[in-house]
Structure 1
Amino acid sequence: MLQPIIEDLRHTKSASSTRWALVSLSLSMLMPSLDTSIANVGLPTLAQAFGASFQQVQWIVLAYLLAITTLIVSVGRLGDIFGRRRLLLIGISLFTLASLFCGIAPTLWLLLAARGLQGLGAAMMMALTVAMVGETVPKDRTGSAMGLLGTMSAIGTTLGPSLGGILIASFGWETIFLVNVPLGIANFLLAARFLPMDRQDRKASKARLDTIGTLLLSLTLAAYALAMTLGHGRFGAVNIGLLLTAAFGIVLFAVTETKVEAPLLRLSMFRDASLSAGLAMSILVSTVIMATLVVGPFYLSRALGFDAAHVGAIMSAGPLVSALTGVPAGRIVDRFGAHRITMTGLVGMIIGLFLIAALQGRFGAAGYIGPLVIVTANYALFQASNNTTIMKDIKAEQRGVISGMLSLSRNLGLITGAAVMGAIFTFASGVIDITAAHPEAVASGMQTTFAVAALLIVGTLAIALAGSAYAKRAPLSEEAL
């Protein structure tokens, strides 16, 4: 999988070091992605093992996601100040130790605490892995490296449920966490040996962490994430209160950032049309992608009548395509340019989403898998090109925080998509309990949901066009960054 990238780097003396550095970065993306999905399959077993309710063991997943979402921007900024390689090594160590603690936890509450620590390590790895690309590969190969990391993320997410099921059935639930220990040790040794040393940047090293801004942003993101996840898409007083808290928090954060000498986020950076458009598009596209994961299983089982095994096999087609197309997508970006491929990817997603809605009920599984392949292949193109656009020309002292924002935008999109697209699906089906809906209602809800998803990508395409036009008219000065 690494060979296409390495072939273009063999003429340099550091080809071997670059290869092993990319292996380390790949593992740093694979491991946290794997743990995003591997625990889900074990929730029934964990509920039985700890004598807990399903609502309680859900926090095993939620604690991990909340830690990543709330801390990923802050740890990216810490990497800019104290050294990205140094903090990445700390993140790998923390993730590995926390995985060990998860596997030996005697009570549910200790397991939840260990998952929170694991999420902190995952946030460091996810943010700083992308940031390290600029220091590991030449600029003209950024797209290929981004495509590789996208592939590893897709492999981790895809592999999680199946690997988790095998490990639980064969060795017990503890092994879904303990499997990270040998991977983490190997990754730490590779990173310590082959990742480039941190460069001494006077401006970054003199900067101080914006403690107040960090705390405000973390609490705001936690409030929003909880609002989107509690209640399973049904908004009650608690959800509304959390959303209002998040809205107040973001206003307070913005005001605070204008007052401090070394802000966590310089608000002037959002005047960069490419950056603002790229982050907005990442949120919207991730929101839409979540529809395939939320709505797809209900449509396949309730409307088309497939059993759980067939639903799982069909659902794996999307992530599998993303995994296979990630590296080629990156090379296409390097060859034809990120802007052109962003447009191509979005147009392809629009076509695929409309086809999913239009072919509802026709051609059986093929009528769903075919358009899904179109959507996910073009999503891989979009992700590689958008990530390249955002990260390629960022100044060194800002790579960590911008990388954290990029990962945050994806997480926020997935969290929002689970709530919003699920709510649209339920509303369009015309029922309160979707699990008891008639096949016709589920099919109707699916059509409406994917039609709305296609329109959201049309809006994303408009943002891409507007951002590109604005950037050409008013290029951002370096001082803003």
Structure 2
Amino acid sequence: MKPIVEEPRKAGHTKSASSIRWALASLSLSMLMPSLDTSIANVGLPTLARTFGASFQQVQWIVLAYLLAITTLIVSVGKLGDIFGRRRLLLIGISLFTLASLFCGIAPTLWLLLAARAFQGLGAAMMMALAIAMVGETVPKERTGSAMGLLGTMSAIGTTLGPSLGGILIASFGWETIFLVNVPLGIANFLLAACFLPADRRHRKVSQGRLDMIGTLLLALTLAAYALAMTIGHGSFGALNMGLLLATASGIALFAFTETKVKSPLLHLSMFHDRKLSTGLAMSTLVSTVIMATLVVGPFYLSRSLGFDAAHVGAIMSSGPLVSALTGVPAGRIVDRFGAQRVSMTGLVGMIVGLFLIVMLQGRFGAAGYIGPLVIVTANYALFQASNNTTIMKDINAEQRGVISGMLSLSRNLGLITGAAVMGAIFTFASGAADITAAHPEAVASGMQITFAVAALLIVGTLAIALAGSAYAKRAPLSEEAL
């Protein structure tokens, strides 16, 4: 397939700087709002349990329904954007997210709240996938890294801001406001997107295609089975988890078979022959798995081993996302200046150094012995994320930006879900305690060291993948027909 001339990208050069800034403001809000709602609801779970007279296991579905909707649908909505127009579908996503947020805030029962959260997740999937996809139509090619860094920054700000903003809103105005705060943001975002995002330029070959309904359903069910296998059971792995993983494996095989038989598949499996794409997606999943270790293991280590109270644990834990937020834009500019491949390698090496420092400095220098290496890890994670996203999205054909952007977001989500389960299980096993909340401080410290050593080795493996991909690219440059 020969690359289609990317006229929208050329048009980006003739736009005024003001128009580009306002367009980027809309894309930034489209990343901020979904990430904000990923974390803001967690702080409200105790209040919501009391309000609706529900158990903690029941209100956990307020978070899970949202994440499942994003994970299962993000590739499909990216494909829909390629077919029907990314700007048009992004406007629909912003509208759906905003309306669903309103219904979340006025929901009279838990079950209606869960339904509204699922629709909110659908809107979030549209916003996350299409915001990244539209970078190529909004900014000149040489500024792709900076734009990707900005979107990464907004995602980190949303994740960081969620718990503190949610706590303030609940204490001051009630739980409803953690959802209603999205309504004015959504209206402002819709107006910005409608006024400043570039109009859709439909590509004839894609727009004439149909959505692969069978493939879409199979992929959604497969991803849902995997996400549930990784999240239910509260850290234990039983027959239900095994059954869901077997269903996942069967779903993958059936989906791959189906995609070879339909006329207009959801995913062209041949695209995975492109080493740059397949390597980038694999690295994104592995790095996200490791990053989740800081969120899963960190609180237990800080509280059980170092003896910090909840307020200090929260403050220390926020240092990681805060560093990501502060370094995202500079990381993007570094990518534009020095090249994505070089910066990606640098980021991975920096993460390895930071993770091994966490292991070696255990028990030394108090909080500083943890915060310092954590800052190194997260700053280099920002470098990797900006460079890897740029590598994957920069030279993608305009007709496939939506679906590949969805795959990129999916790889990150799957890594986070896997990390929560796998890194949590390693930590529990390494600590040698059935109940980690009652484990001795020394056992928790030992478990932390082993978990982060494993995490460092995973990044070593990721670096090996990156080096192998780079060597392959030098031996056999990508064909113009790879995508």
TM-score range, shorter chain: over 0.9
Partners of 1:59 and 1:170 in 2: CA distance: 25
TM-score (norm 2): 0.97
Q: In the alignment, what sits opposite 1:4? A: none
**Preserved contact between residue 12 and residue 139 of structure 2 (Cα < 8 Å):** no
Q: In the alignment, what sits opposite 2:230? A: 228
**Preserved contact between residue 285 and residue 457 of structure 1 (Cα < 8 Å):** yes
Correspondent of 2:372 among 370, 373, 383: 370
**Preserved contact between residue 291 and residue 418 of structure 1 (Cα < 8 Å):** yes
Partners of 2:459 and 2:235 in 1: CA distance: 22
Q: In the alignment, what sits opposite 2:248? A: 246
C-alpha displacement at 1:329, in angstroms? 0.1
Task: Output one character per residue of 1:385-424: Cα deviation in whole Å (capped at 9) or x when no partner.
Answer: 0000000000000000000000000000000000000000
C-alpha displacement at 1:293, in angstroms? 0.2
Q: In the alignment, what sits opposite 1:189? A: 191
C-alpha displacement at 1:479, in angstroms? 3.8
Q: In the alignment, what sits opposite 1:52? A: 54
Q: In the alignment, what sits opposite 2:436? A: 434
**Preserved contact between residue 153 and residue 327 of structure 2 (Cα < 8 Å):** yes
Partners of 1:263 and 1:204 in 2: CA distance: 11
Range 199-208 or range 304-313, more displaced: 199-208
C-alpha displacement at 1:232, in angstroms? 2.2
Partners of 1:115 and 1:434 in 2: CA distance: 31
**Preserved contact between residue 12 and residue 138 of structure 2 (Cα < 8 Å):** no
Correspondent of 1:264 among 263, 266, 271: 266
Partners of 1:359 and 1:16 in 2: CA distance: 48
Partners of 1:75 and 1:232 in 2: CA distance: 30
C-alpha displacement at 1:472, in angstroms? 2.5
Q: Which amino acid aligns with 1:122?
A: A
Partners of 1:181 and 1:98 in 2: CA distance: 9
Unaligned runs of 5+ in 2: 1-10
C-alpha displacement at 1:470, in angstroms? 1.6
Partners of 2:37 and 2:475 in 1: CA distance: 43
C-alpha displacement at 1:233, in angstroms? 2.5
**Preserved contact between residue 38 and residue 159 of structure 2 (Cα < 8 Å):** yes
Q: In the alignment, what sits opposite 2:297? A: 295
Q: In the alignment, what sits opposite 2:98? A: 96
Q: In the alignment, what sits opposite 2:341? A: 339
Task: Output one character per residue of 1:177-224: Cα deviation in whole Å (capped at 9) or x when no partner.
Answer: 000000000000000000000002111111111111110000000000
Correspondent of 1:198 among 183, 191, 200: 200
Q: Which amino acid aligns with 1:412?
A: L
Task: Output one character per residue of 1:127-172: Cα deviation in whole Å (capped at 9) or x when no partner.
Answer: 0000000000000000000000000000000000000000000000
The alignment yields a C-alpha RMSD, in angstroms, of 1.1
Task: Output one character per residue of 1:232-276: Cα deviation in whole Å (capped at 9) or x when no partner.
Answer: 231100000000000000011001111111111111100111100
Unaligned runs of 5+ in 1: 1-8
Residues 11/467 of structure 1: CA separation in 2 closer, same or farther (3 Å cut): closer
Q: Which amino acid aligns with 1:158?
A: T
**Preserved contact between residue 233 and residue 418 of structure 1 (Cα < 8 Å):** no
**Preserved contact between residue 89 and residue 126 of structure 2 (Cα < 8 Å):** yes
Residues 346/261 of structure 1: CA separation in 2 closer, same or farther (3 Å cut): same
Q: In the alignment, what sits opposite 1:449? A: 451
Q: Which amino acid aligns with 1:228?
A: M
Range 68-77 or range 202-211, more displaced: 202-211
Partners of 1:133 and 1:102 in 2: CA distance: 30
Question: What SS class does the counterpart of residue 456 from structure 1 fall into?
Answer: helix
Partners of 1:230 and 1:333 in 2: CA distance: 39
C-alpha displacement at 1:474, in angstroms? 2.8
Q: How does 1:4-15 map to 2 (within 5 A)?
A: 13-15=15-17
Task: Output one character per residue of 1:298-339: Cα deviation in whole Å (capped at 9) or x when no partner.
Answer: 000000000000000000100000000000000000000000
Q: In the alignment, what sits opposite 2:65? A: 63
Q: In the alignment, what sits opposite 2:214? A: 212
C-alpha displacement at 1:14, in angstroms? 1.7
Q: In the alignment, what sits opposite 2:109? A: 107
How many residues were matched structurally?
Answer: 473
Q: In the alignment, what sits opposite 1:423? A: 425
Question: What SS class does the counterpart of residue 290 from structure 1 fall into?
Answer: helix
Q: How does 1:161-180 map to 2 (within 5 A)?
A: 161-180=163-182
Q: In the alignment, what sits opposite 2:280? A: 278
Correspondent of 1:351 among 350, 353, 358: 353
C-alpha displacement at 1:117, in angstroms? 0.1
C-alpha displacement at 1:12, in angstroms? 5.2
Q: In the alignment, what sits opposite 1:43? A: 45
Correspondent of 1:326 among 325, 328, 348: 328
C-alpha displacement at 1:473, in angstroms? 2.3
**Preserved contact between residue 225 and residue 244 of structure 2 (Cα < 8 Å):** yes
Q: Which amino acid aligns with 2:401?
A: R
**Preserved contact between residue 72 and residue 221 of structure 2 (Cα < 8 Å):** yes
Partners of 2:478 and 2:125 in 1: CA distance: 29
**Preserved contact between residue 232 and residue 419 of structure 1 (Cα < 8 Å):** no
